[in-house]
Amino acid sequence: MIKVRVPATTANIGPGFDAFGMAFQLYNIFSFEERDNGKLTIRGVERRYQGKSNLVYKAMLKVFNRVHYRPKGIYIYTDVNIPVSRGLGSSAACIVGGLVGANTLCGAPLTGKELFDMAVEMEGHPDNVAPAMFGGLVVSLGLKEENHYIKKEVSQCFEFYGLIPDFTLSTMEARKALPKKVFHKDAVFNVSRATMTYLALTEGRPDILKVSVEDKLHQPYREGLIAHYDEVSQKARELGALNTCISGAGPTILAITTRDNDQFYAKMGKYLKEKLPGCTLLKLEPDNTGVCTARHSYGGSYDT
Ligand code: HSE
């Protein structure tokens, strides 16, 4: 049995829309086995996800077709810890898990970089699959044929919290809310803030992060899809969060504090319990390893 561990991810971090994301120590664990029975068996997920349309299986097929491998039968077990359709990269984890699982079953003919390109093609944007593959904070540049990325570790001075509502929001729906065109001044607004957010996170600059996590390309169009967005964000800031943003396409709200704010978790937890009891608060530690099997971590190099 091959086991593949894939981290949860947050994308955008405010202004870095479709460009950057980071990985957290919250994992889905996929187990894979080739069997002689000629069947596809998927367990650990609801019955409706146990067929050929399962995203993990679809990703496996991409690898099998690319390397001309014909498995007899496939067994997949999914240990799901990443909340589904909440903006924490659950679909990216399925794609990356399936690609890496199939590649490992075939004897690892494809490199991490090749798997990354395949993952971007499947997901349609690189900002979740890149940190899911490589861990850390990853900036990606998606081109037609291939993608480029730079991975950095996030400064130890920050802490991250996911405020996870009890309702789902599909990425497709959240992308439909975006306008086809944006104003030039809004694009300029984002360019400086995205660059500053990346540098603040990697260089440990809470003073900059406090002002740089602002966005005009997607958040203003999406906040209305997330009930209580304004009040929860405002409360998080009152309790000392440097900043908040929508995690990926939402509906999770990401709050970033300095590491010395030891009251935030207890106070935010109390507030949510009283006001929004369905909402879960998770402390999310950065992951710098990315997807890994028992023998290999993809976070260190392109090679498998
Ligand atoms: N960058 C993407 C979006 C992430 O915001 O739509 C969603 O997975």
**What confidence tens digit (pLDDT) does each residue in 43-95 have?**
999 999 999 999 999 999 999 999 999 999 999 999 999 999 999 999 999 99
Would you say residue 142 has pLDDT above 90?
Answer: no
Show Cβ contacts of residue 167 under 8 Å, excluding neighbours closer than 6 positions.
227, 251, 278
Helix (H, G, I), strand (E, B) or coil at 304: coil
Taking only Cα atoms into account, the Rg of the chain, rounded to an integer number of angstroms, comes to 19
Query: How do beta strands 40-43 and 73-79 pair?
Result: parallel
Average pLDDT (151-161) is 97
Q: Which residue among 175, 178, 190, 253 has the greatest number of ligand 1 atoms within 8 angstroms of its CB, and so is best to mutate?
A: 175
- What is the tens place of the pLDDT at every residue in 243-296? 999 999 999 999 999 999 989 999 999 999 999 999 999 999 999 999 999 877
Q: Is 132 exposed, middle or buried (0-12, 13-18, 19+ CB in 10 A)?
A: buried
Q: Residues for the chain: how many in total? A: 304
Q: Which amino acid is at 249?
A: A
Whether residue 303 is predicted with pLDDT greater than 50 in this model: the reply is: no
- Is residue 11 helix, strand or coil? strand
Distance 92 CA to ligand 1 centre (A): 11
Distance from C-alpha of 178 to C-alpha of 187, rounded to nearest angstrom: 14
Name the residue with the closest Cα to ligand 1, atom 6: 249
Inform me whether the pLDDT recorded for 102 exceeds 70.
yes
User: Which amino acid residue places its CA nearest to atom 3 of ligand 1?
Assistant: 249
Q: Which of 97, 87, 9 lies closest to 59, judged by CA?
A: 97
**Distance separating alpha carbons of residues 85 and 121, to the nearest angstrom:** 19
Q: Which two tokens stand for residue 212?
A: 């740089």
Q: For residue 251, what is the DSSP state? A: S
Average pLDDT of the segment spanning 196-208: 98
Question: Which residues' Cβ are closer than 6 Å to ligand 1?
Answer: 11-12, 17-18, 125, 127-128, 171, 174-175, 218, 248-249
Its pTM stands at: 0.94
Atom of ligand 1 nearest to the CA of 175: 6
Out of 26-30, 145-149, 229-233, least confident range: 145-149
Q: Where are the alpha helices (DSSP H) in 204-256?
A: 206-212, 219-222, 229-238
304 pLDDT exceeds 70? no
Averaged pLDDT of the chain: 94
pLDDT value of position 300 = 60
* % of the chain residues with pLDDT over 70: 98
Residue 101 has pLDDT above 90, yes or no: yes
pLDDT bin (cut points 50, 70, 90) of residue 143 is: confident
Does 174 have pLDDT greater than 50? yes
CA distance 192 to 141: 17
- φ/ψ of residue 263, rounded to 5: -95, -15
Question: How many angstroms separate the alpha carbon of residue 253 from the centre of ligand 1?
Answer: 13
Cβ(37)–Cβ(72) under 8 Å? yes
CA dihedral 170, 175, 177, 180 (to 10 degrees): -170
Q: How far apart are the C-alpha atoms of 40 and 58, rounded to whole Å?
A: 12
| Per-residue pLDDT band at 299 (split at 50, 70, 90) | confident
| Per-residue pLDDT at 146 | 83
